[in-house]
Amino acid sequence: MRRAFALLAGLTICVAGCNTSHSEREENEVEVTLDQVPPAVRDTISRESGGAPVGKIERGVEKGKTVYEADITKGTKTTEIKVDESGKVIGRE
């Protein structure tokens, strides 16, 4: 019984920690327009979209650096790209 309680307590702490991290990340993101991002970021987002519609763009801070996340829809598939201030793609989801 103690073991089950300890396991449940550990899982509760883990889930609470995961939710806190996610909400903190969401709080530091601000929605921006393509006109409001640096030219290097704008060029990368435009190149990556290949003329496809660009949806929501968010500016946030990760590990002390400003990053931009943009949703690009090609056909029925939406991809999120993450771009640093220099215009380098640092992630895709």
Query: What are the boundaries of each domain within the chain?
Result: 2-92
| Half-sphere exposure for 7 (CA within 13 Å, toward CB) | 4
Model pLDDT for residues 35-52, shown as the tens digit of each residue: 999 999 999 999 999 999
How far apart CA 1 and CA 92 sit, in angstroms, is 44
How far apart CA 5 and CA 11 sit, in angstroms, is 10
Contact status, residue 68 vs residue 29, Cβ threshold 8 Å: no
Model pLDDT for residues 8-30, shown as the tens digit of each residue: 555 555 444 554 444 444 568 99
% of the chain surpassing 70 pLDDT: 71
User: Sign of the C-alpha dihedral, residues 61, 68, 35, 26?
Assistant: negative
- Domain at 2-92: CATH architecture: Roll (3.10)
How far apart CA 2 and CA 39 sit, in angstroms, is 58
